[in-house]
Chain A
Amino acid sequence: MLLTITYTGENASDLGYLLFKNPNRPQTFELNHGKAYVFYPEISAERTTAALLLDINPIDLARGKEGATSGGLFEYVNDRPYVSSSFMSTAISRVYGTAMTGRADAHQALSDSPLELSATITMMPCRGEQGKLNSVFEPLGYDVKYETFVSDENFPQWGESKYVNLTISGKVRLRDLLKHIYVLIPVFDRHKHYWVGADEVDKLLRIGEDWLPNHPERTYITGRYLNRRKSLVSIAFERLTETDTTSSDILSETEEKEAVKNLNTQRLNSVIATLKNCGAKKIIDLGCGEGRLIKQLVKDRQFTQITGVDVSHVALKRANERLKLERASESMLERVNLFQGSLTYKDARFNGFDAACVIEVIEHLDIPRLVAFERMLFEFAKPPVVVLTTPNREYNTNYANLHEDDVRHSDHRFEWTRAEFQNWANKTADKFGYKVKFSDIGEASEIHGAPTQMGVFTLCV
């Protein structure tokens, strides 16, 4: 919305020369999504302030520009017109572009020297910890102050908003101040109005050339600037660390995910080992998701027919890509196929398999729907073997970030203790003429068991 830059010092009104904007003449600039204005709320020899005011058209955001054929990217009810976001960065480069290069013609000496500058960014969205404002700006030589706001004073229980009025002040060159703001607004906001592509890496490295490589928060800044697009982040890192020694900091960030990854692998291995042991050839993976299990099954010649079912066509599309089915040979297509199906509807296409896998799926069903699921699988499809896994709730206490009664995934409708799972599985097996055996997956603790529990159902003949 608004960015003000204040210069305090001798002949402070020279700020106008550095910015290439005449303090006595307010100006208008046309932008892609609206207009920008530059005017001076303070003009004196001691202290001069330039304001850059953005006027984003909300209807343009929602509908696309006047006369555009396709719609806009944003909702009508949107904070973008009122905040300082990536639109502000774009405006800075458009309006203060020359100043950013440091060119100042007759005032080059002033431009080249650090000045007493301060900048206030109004309503900057700050997603995540506000403490980062200090750790990001302070190493660049700024004193950091910010004001926060409640979301709605009539409803204090809704909490603080994510916006801050941020003021940074320090002795810096104007061009550096502008570059810092340009890069760091989108770092704190994270919503960008443009697609973050490979050219953003170049831009980041160019503008951050002087200060980013040695910034203690460079991992954070790079990751957030590039919207955490993994491949882009690693490209940026490779290039950043050419002169540096190690990229260990990016690894530490992903360390926490390592454990989850391991569990996934262990789970798939257990399932595959079970399928191999029972000699099953034709496998149906109910709730195959993006096809992780299928991808492993395909490698093994024992499995002659592999079918994946999921209710989400987005997941199926990804599985299709993962398995490269678009360009698979005919013999591959005879062996592997995917289709959309539901776990609560009877489906003749589920018949005739040696084994069905239901891996980390039932916890995504509401408990009352399990009745339909049981009948669909055990009464109608009736495969000789069913391999079923689900989280063990007791184990959750080992996850530091889970509170009591929390579930591991926001879509989990329930997570069962071992007793609850075994009780359900035994009852179901009994009802439909199956026998069931249980085992643990993942590293088991003595009291709480393993993270995942598995039941293998075998049809009694």
Chain B
Amino acid sequence: MRIEIPELAVVALVGVSGSGKSTFANKYFKPTEVLSSDYFRALVSDDENNQLVTAQAFDALYYIAQKRLELGNLAVIDATNVQKEARANLLKLAKQQDCHAVAIVLNVPENICKERNEARTDRNFSGKVIYRQGEQLRRSIKRLQKEGFRYVYVLKSEDDIANVEIIRKPLWNNKKDVTGAFDIIGDIHGCYDELCALLEKLGYVNGVHPDGRRVVFLGDLCDRGTKNVEVLRLVMDMVQAGNAYCVAGNHDAKLFKKLKGSNVTLTHGLDITVEQVYNQSEEFINETKKFLDGLVSHYVFDSGKLVVSHAGIIEKYQGRASGRVRDFCLYGDTTGETDEYGLPVRLPWANDYRGRATVVYGHTPCPDVQIVNNTFCIDTGCVFGGKLTALRYPEKNIMQVDALAQYCVPAKPIALSINDDMLNIDDVLGQKYLNTALRKSIKINSENSAAALEIMSRFAADPHWLIYLPPTMSPCETGKLAHYLEYPSEAFDYYKNKGIAKVICQQKHMGSRGVIVLCKDRETAEKRFKINDGSFGIIYTRTGRQFFDDAKKETALLVHLQNLLYASGFWDAFSTDWLCLDCEIMPWSAKAQKLLEEQYAPVGCAGKHGISAAIDAISKSMEQLGENALLSELQERYQGRADAISRYTTAYRGYCWDVKHLDDYKIAPFHIMATEGNTWFGESHAWHMETIAKYMTDSIFIATSNLIVDLHDANSITTGIKWWEELTTFGSEGMVVKPYDFIAKKGMELLQPAMKCRGKEYLRIIYGAEYAYGENLERLKKRSLTKKRSMALSEFALGVESLERFVRNEPLYRVHECVFGVLAMESEPVDPRL
């Protein structure tokens, strides 16, 4: 016997104790698909025959079944299921999970069941029990279909049971193996001429595309417009020929009802369609009836990456089949209420959409295509005098033709609904795994998310601006050379060992990290970033906080940069109206004033005066006592300390100057992160340096000195080391060594995108004035970089990903989760001096 079951369903095995359900289940289903009540009895009570724990066992069983169905997996329920109440629970479960219920009845003669039970030593069911179950079963069989089981199979004999073939059928909506390309067309409503024009524009000739593209019609083919029959004819032919798919719209469903003879009111333009259709041949009417009857509620295409339906669909309903799924697909998210125009209230389900699949739908006429959270509403109200729209997939380009006329006046004005992207707490809170192109499944711990939530909520700028947070950077391996904690050869060795031939060394500026997002004008800020407070750019810190407390300073710098970019022709050269830059902003003292006044300067002051007093006392004592070993040693030691503290003061002073005018700021951009339609990770660092030097350098914006080092050339390496020594001798913080390419890999392994190598003097600001003194350095050399390196990679991957997503016009929450992820990782305690 052939038993066809949907690929996703609740399968209830029905039969008395001893009818062979478990044997049947084991034979035809995977062990993990089968949920046996006896097994669950054992799980909760250690005894699979314990009838006292039936309630608890079924609780657990239903819970597991629910999880399986949520994940899209079949659930086979191996229990007697002879009682209506027991089956009702399974039907309820199927309904909740929007899938079908199947009953397979094992109607084995009672005497056989009795014998089997008697043969078992662990179970002592009396004959009475079997008899009672048999009674219940016989009464049940006739009712199953009516109870709600979509498919019912009754196996009447041992023979039947032994010769079963189970066929798992995909659901009607499952077209996952069809990848496209598609041209998805919104509500037509009888606008035949516009449809033809659009198909022509898309490149279809007589309903066929030379590249094999196929059309997906989103339903609502008829009503209100003038050429309903023509539209029906064309769509039916294309679907028939395999050149198109079509899903059901609410108007199509109503037309079908009418054609089937039900009593429907002929409103909302149905009257025109009905009149036109009834003028056609009987054959056409029947064909139409059959076509409409066969329309499914939605399709899932391209491995689940694309879902289409007439009125949209939430993630939970995708690939499911139930009455409510169909209603959602046809009518949208309705509450039963009507608005002041008498039209049903439709909830903005797309605002909360977080699904992976792109959803394309129509139904609600809008002035233009509405893109919200990876959903596209492409009903642009052609019949109301708007446009007929096609969305090309996978390109996601939009093609439109204008309506030739306004065929119908809308009951309520077609208004732009807000492109809503309010962030949801579930987007960020709790443990997350983020997938990025560069690193798979980056884990964000819930305690880190919790910490980041506080920073993000209390201190960060509007998330619309935060399209990128810079990653942390690891220092090079601890230097093997005496007297040095960090030395360039360690960074060179790292990259050489990873198979990199060429690196770029960039001077490391000592200021504060700043990200600049700048728009050409306010309109761009509004349109591209959805910033409506009149600002056109922002400068923010590595934790997403506004860099300047003084908004006037920020605006002045942004205007300055704006003008610079106009003057240098940047906007045109990059055909963009916005830009994201990664920079270092100097002087350090501008941002670190408090730190300097409360920590750095006092240490220098105390050190200087404290040590000189000590030397004074030691010298006087030496005058008193003459030659003394301890005092001589002390004198030398304290003179060394005096030298260290004076070098320390010199080191921090180099990074401090007063900012009286705008020109006193120095900003060194070092990466052009992104512009409209592009990220610039594909370009080498040399390109970034050159482009920055070409388009954005003046009195405030400065270029960064850099040097390319060939790692296979000993001379080149020596030059690199010398370059660093010179830089650091003349007060520079040090340098950053980067692989020549922005993104560097060794096979599958992502390499450190940058490595800092800080100068001997600068490190006094980090590890204290006397870090290099005596035995101190040897102790400091014991440091572990593993965690820092791993964080640097994850944060780099997240930063690249967030910009890629933003450039691809992905929804705010998709960008935000990456940015939030960087902030969360940064809350992890790692030695801040690394």
Contact residue among A37, A42, A341, A347 (Cβ-Cβ distance under 8 Å from B620) = A42
Encode B457-495 as 1/0 by CB contact (under 8 A) with A.
110011000000000000000000000000000000000
Contact residue among B423, B457, B765 (Cβ-Cβ distance under 8 Å from A77) = B765
Closest to A162 in B: B602
Knowing A41-B624, A311-B453, A364-B458 are in contact, say whether A345-B656 is a contact too (CB < 8 A). Answer: no
Question: Which of B178-186, B211-219, B424-432, B731-739 faces chain A?
Answer: B424-432
**Which residues on B sit within 8 Å (CB–CB) of A122?**
609-610, 613-614
Contact residue among A58, A78, A79, A371 (Cβ-Cβ distance under 8 Å from B776) = A58
Q: Are A76 and B610 in contact (CB under 8 A)?
A: no
Q: Are B631 and A76 in contact (CB under 8 A)?
A: no
Q: Are A41 and B621 in contact (CB under 8 A)?
A: yes
Encode B607-632 as 1/0 by CB contact (under 8 A) with A.
10111011011101100110010110
The answer, yes or no, to whether B296 is at the interface (CB within 8 Å) is no
Knowing A79-B602, A161-B601 are in contact, say whether A346-B610 is a contact too (CB < 8 A). Answer: no
Contact residue among B424, B454, B457, B533 (Cβ-Cβ distance under 8 Å from A368) = B533
Q: Are B780 and A59 in contact (CB under 8 A)?
A: yes
Q: Are A39 and B606 in contact (CB under 8 A)?
A: no
**Which residues on A sit within 8 Å (CB–CB) of B620?**
41-42
- Cα of A123 to Cα of B605 in the assembled complex, Å: 9
Q: Are B631 and A123 in contact (CB under 8 A)?
A: no
The answer, yes or no, to whether B603 is at the interface (CB within 8 Å) is yes
The answer, yes or no, to whether A141 is at the interface (CB within 8 Å) is no
Interface of B is mostly: helix
The answer, yes or no, to whether B653 is at the interface (CB within 8 Å) is yes
Q: Are B424 and A345 in contact (CB under 8 A)?
A: yes
CB distance from B98 to the nearest CB of A (A): 21
Q: Are A28 and B605 in contact (CB under 8 A)?
A: no
Closest to A379 in B: B422
- Cα of A26 to Cα of B630 in the assembled complex, Å: 7
The answer, yes or no, to whether A158 is at the interface (CB within 8 Å) is yes
The answer, yes or no, to whether B274 is at the interface (CB within 8 Å) is no
**Which residues on A sit within 8 Å (CB–CB) of B611?**
1, 82
Q: Are A59 and B628 in contact (CB under 8 A)?
A: no
In the complex, chain B residues 96-132 whose Cβ is within 8 Å of any chain A Cβ: none
**Which residues on B sit within 8 Å (CB–CB) of A149?**
605, 609
- Cα of A440 to Cα of B602 in the assembled complex, Å: 46
**Which residues on A sit within 8 Å (CB–CB) of B771?**
58-59, 76
Question: Which of B560-568, B592-600, B708-716 faces chain A?
Answer: B592-600
The answer, yes or no, to whether B28 is at the interface (CB within 8 Å) is no
**Which residues on B sit within 8 Å (CB–CB) of A313?**
450-451, 454
Q: Are A152 and B628 in contact (CB under 8 A)?
A: no
**Which residues on A sit within 8 Å (CB–CB) of B604?**
151-152
In the complex, chain A residues 346-375 whose Cβ is within 8 Å of any chain B Cβ: 346-349, 364-366, 368-369, 371-372, 375
Knowing A340-B450, A344-B423 are in contact, say whether A41-B617 is a contact too (CB < 8 A). Answer: yes
Contact residue among B458, B610, B768 (Cβ-Cβ distance under 8 Å from A62) = B768
Knowing A42-B620, A347-B425 are in contact, say whether A165-B765 is a contact too (CB < 8 A). Answer: no
The answer, yes or no, to whether A63 is at the interface (CB within 8 Å) is yes
The answer, yes or no, to whether B770 is at the interface (CB within 8 Å) is yes
- Cα of A42 to Cα of B606 in the assembled complex, Å: 24
The answer, yes or no, to whether A342 is at the interface (CB within 8 Å) is yes
Knowing A26-B630, A59-B779 are in contact, say whether A154-B624 is a contact too (CB < 8 A). Answer: no
- Cα of A313 to Cα of B429 in the assembled complex, Å: 13
**Which residues on B sit within 8 Å (CB–CB) of A123?**
606, 609-610, 613
In the complex, chain A residues 247-303 whose Cβ is within 8 Å of any chain B Cβ: none
**Which residues on A sit within 8 Å (CB–CB) of B637?**
55
Q: Are B605 and A152 in contact (CB under 8 A)?
A: yes
Q: Are A163 and B454 in contact (CB under 8 A)?
A: no
Knowing A51-B617, A375-B422 are in contact, say whether A40-B624 is a contact too (CB < 8 A). Answer: yes
Q: Are A340 and B453 in contact (CB under 8 A)?
A: yes
Q: Are A2 and B770 in contact (CB under 8 A)?
A: no
Q: Are B617 and A347 in contact (CB under 8 A)?
A: no
The answer, yes or no, to whether A219 is at the interface (CB within 8 Å) is no
CB distance from A432 to the nearest CB of B (A): 13
- Cα of A63 to Cα of B603 in the assembled complex, Å: 18
Knowing A76-B766, A369-B462 are in contact, say whether A347-B630 is a contact too (CB < 8 A). Answer: no
Q: Are A165 and B613 in contact (CB under 8 A)?
A: yes
CB distance from B369 to the nearest CB of A (A): 24
Contact residue among B424, B618, B776 (Cβ-Cβ distance under 8 Å from A347) = B424
- Cα of A85 to Cα of B687 in the assembled complex, Å: 54
- Cα of A24 to Cα of B456 in the assembled complex, Å: 64
Closest to A350 in B: B425
Contact residue among A76, A82, A342 (Cβ-Cβ distance under 8 Å from B425) = A342
- Cα of A157 to Cα of B659 in the assembled complex, Å: 12
CB distance from A85 to the nearest CB of B (A): 10
- Cα of A78 to Cα of B603 in the assembled complex, Å: 6
The answer, yes or no, to whether B173 is at the interface (CB within 8 Å) is no
Q: Are B605 and A24 in contact (CB under 8 A)?
A: no
**Which residues on B sit within 8 Å (CB–CB) of A342?**
425, 453, 456-457
Size of B's binding interface in residues, CB under 8 A? 64
The answer, yes or no, to whether A66 is at the interface (CB within 8 Å) is yes
Knowing A43-B624, A152-B601 are in contact, say whether A58-B770 is a contact too (CB < 8 A). Answer: yes
The answer, yes or no, to whether A212 is at the interface (CB within 8 Å) is no
CB distance from B533 to the nearest CB of A (A): 5
The answer, yes or no, to whether B833 is at the interface (CB within 8 Å) is yes
The answer, yes or no, to whether B730 is at the interface (CB within 8 Å) is no
- Cα of A40 to Cα of B597 in the assembled complex, Å: 35
Q: Are B656 and A77 in contact (CB under 8 A)?
A: no
**Which residues on A sit within 8 Å (CB–CB) of B605?**
149-152, 161, 163
In the complex, chain A residues 367-422 whose Cβ is within 8 Å of any chain B Cβ: 368-369, 371-372, 375-376, 380, 411
Q: Are A368 and B606 in contact (CB under 8 A)?
A: no
The answer, yes or no, to whether B81 is at the interface (CB within 8 Å) is no
CB distance from A123 to the nearest CB of B (A): 4
**Which residues on B sit within 8 Å (CB–CB) of A365?**
458
Encode A328-344 as 1/0 by CB contact (under 8 A) with B.
00000000000011111
**Which residues on A sit within 8 Å (CB–CB) of B658?**
157
**Which residues on A sit within 8 Å (CB–CB) of B609?**
122-123, 149, 163, 165
**Which residues on A sit within 8 Å (CB–CB) of B574?**
none
Knowing A37-B634, A59-B779, A165-B613 are in contact, say whether A340-B606 is a contact too (CB < 8 A). Answer: no
Contact residue among A26, A82, A340 (Cβ-Cβ distance under 8 Å from B625) = A26
Q: Are B624 and A78 in contact (CB under 8 A)?
A: no
In the complex, chain A residues 32-80 whose Cβ is within 8 Å of any chain B Cβ: 37, 39-43, 51, 53, 55, 57-59, 62-63, 66, 75-79
The answer, yes or no, to whether A155 is at the interface (CB within 8 Å) is yes
Knowing A26-B631, A149-B609 are in contact, say whether A345-B427 is a contact too (CB < 8 A). Answer: yes
CB distance from A406 to the nearest CB of B (A): 15
- Cα of A372 to Cα of B767 in the assembled complex, Å: 42
The answer, yes or no, to whether A134 is at the interface (CB within 8 Å) is no
Q: Are B624 and A312 in contact (CB under 8 A)?
A: no
Contact residue among B426, B429, B630, B765 (Cβ-Cβ distance under 8 Å from A340) = B429
Q: Are B610 and A83 in contact (CB under 8 A)?
A: yes
Closest to B420 in A: A375
Contact residue among B457, B603, B624, B628 (Cβ-Cβ distance under 8 Å from A82) = B603
Encode B414-447 as 1/0 by CB contact (under 8 A) with A.
0000000011111111000000000000000000
The answer, yes or no, to whether B36 is at the interface (CB within 8 Å) is no
**Which residues on B sit within 8 Å (CB–CB) of A53?**
614, 617-618, 634
10 closest residue pairs by CB, A with B: A41-B620, A82-B610, A1-B610, A82-B606, A342-B457, A76-B768, A151-B601, A347-B425, A345-B425, A123-B610
Chain B residues in the interface with A (C-beta under 8 A): 422-429, 450-451, 453-454, 456-458, 461-462, 532-533, 546, 596-597, 599-607, 609-611, 613-614, 616-618, 620-621, 624-625, 628, 630-631, 634, 637, 645, 649, 653, 656, 658, 765-771, 776, 779-780, 833
11 pairs from A and B in contact (CB 8 Å cutoff): A26-B630, A39-B617, A41-B621, A42-B624, A53-B617, A76-B766, A77-B768, A151-B605, A152-B601, A340-B450, A369-B462
Q: Supply 9 further A-B pairs (C-beta < 8 A) apart from A155-B653, A345-B423.
A: A41-B617, A77-B600, A79-B606, A149-B609, A151-B605, A157-B658, A313-B450, A345-B457, A366-B461
